[in-house]
């Protein structure tokens, strides 16, 4: 299936912006959406004539529907949607602000559900379309210090696998992308991992473009996370816990330098309850 027109949520920075750039290099036209409308407009102008930037709050179904409608008004029928918007406040769950819990649920999984539903309503009558949902390696390797974040990413994995089953034979493709530690503000202050690399957002973007071309259903970035995740999820709990200790998975967030995360934390809480993916 040829992909020519693509919409990307959380597109003003990080993985979203890198994905837009990679899609443009591959000859596609892109619409990026972000709750920070000013940043989105600036980025789209920097990306060039085949990029459109629109404000989008993925928590709001009306905002999401308006985003997709305007995207298709500008470019024509979309071929793909990348549900990328997400946030990652960290800390021990017992200390987590319930407002942060709700924000994580509303953005990281609620936004994916809303975007997928609205995209399917457009794609199914056409008999074609590709939905790419950003999960995380934390969706398979649940890590201390990020319980709610891990829960949302587990949910994205399970949800997308169910949608794959529901759309089998319809011409709709789905892809789950499970990044590890990606060099963006989201991992500011994180402790150093063992057994895997920290890679740039371009690596995730290239993997997404590759999946759009070849239809791959599940992708880990970097690749070596795949075998680790399968070991953790496919072994008894005691064994899985030992594997996680070997790779220091449960210290990456619990031993984070929270002072180094001040800028990121401030950005995702801008003082008006507006979330900036």
Helix axes 61-75, 111-126, angle to 10 degrees: 40
Residue 230 banded pLDDT, cuts 50, 70, 90? very high
Say which residue the tokens 């990020």 belong to. Answer: 146
Residues 33, 40: contact at Cβ < 8 Å? Answer: yes
pLDDT tens column, 78-133? 999 999 999 999 999 999 999 999 999 999 999 999 999 999 999 999 999 999 99
Contacts of 105 (CB under 8 A, 6+ apart): 148, 152
Please tell me the distance from the alpha carbon of residue 196 to that of residue 221, in angstroms, as a whole number.
10
Identify the active-site residue in 67, 149, 159, 247: 149
The token pair at 262 is 């001040």
Task: Say whether pLDDT at 271 is over 80.
Answer: no
Reported pTM: 0.94
Q: Out of 3.40.50.720, 2.60.420.10, 3.40.47.10, 3.30.413.10, which CATH number does the structure's domain 5-268 have? A: 3.40.50.720
Residues 85, 31: contact at Cβ < 8 Å? Answer: no
Look up 149 and say whether it is catalytic. yes
């Amino acid at each position: 299936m040829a992909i020519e027109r693509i919409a990307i949520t959380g597109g003003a920075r990080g993985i979203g912006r890198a994905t837009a750039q990679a899609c443009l290099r591959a000859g596609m036209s892109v619409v990026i959406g972000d709750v920070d409308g000013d940043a989105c407009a600036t980025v789209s102008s920097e990306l060039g004539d085949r990029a459109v930037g629109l404000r989008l709050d993925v928590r709001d179904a009306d905002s999401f529907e308006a985003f997709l409608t305007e995207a298709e008004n500008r470019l024509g029928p979309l071929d793909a949607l990348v549900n990328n918007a997400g946030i990652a406040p960290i800390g021990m769950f017992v200390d987590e602000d319930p407002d942060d819990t709700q924000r994580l649920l509303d953005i990281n999984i609620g936004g994916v559900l809303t975007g997928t539903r609205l995209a399917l309503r457009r794609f199914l009558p056409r008999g074609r379309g590709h939905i790419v949902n950003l999960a995380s390696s934390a969706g398979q390797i649940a890590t201390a210090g990020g319980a709610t974040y891990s829960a949302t990413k587990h949910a994205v994995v399970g949800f997308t696998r169910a949608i794959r089953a529901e759309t089998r034979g319809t011409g709709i493709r789905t892809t789950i992308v499970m990044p590890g530690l990606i060099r963006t503000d989201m991992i500011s202050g994180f402790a150093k991992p063992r057994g895997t690399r920290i890679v740039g957002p371009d690596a995730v973007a290239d993997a997404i473009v590759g999946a759009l071309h070849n239809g791959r259903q599940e992708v880990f970035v970097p690749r070596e996370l795949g075998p680790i995740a399968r070991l953790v999820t496919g072994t008894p709990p005691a064994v899985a816990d030992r594997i996680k200790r070997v790779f220091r998975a449960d210290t990456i967030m619990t031993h984070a330098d929270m002072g180094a995360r001040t800028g990121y934390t401030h950005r995702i809480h801008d003082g008006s309850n507006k979330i900036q993916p």
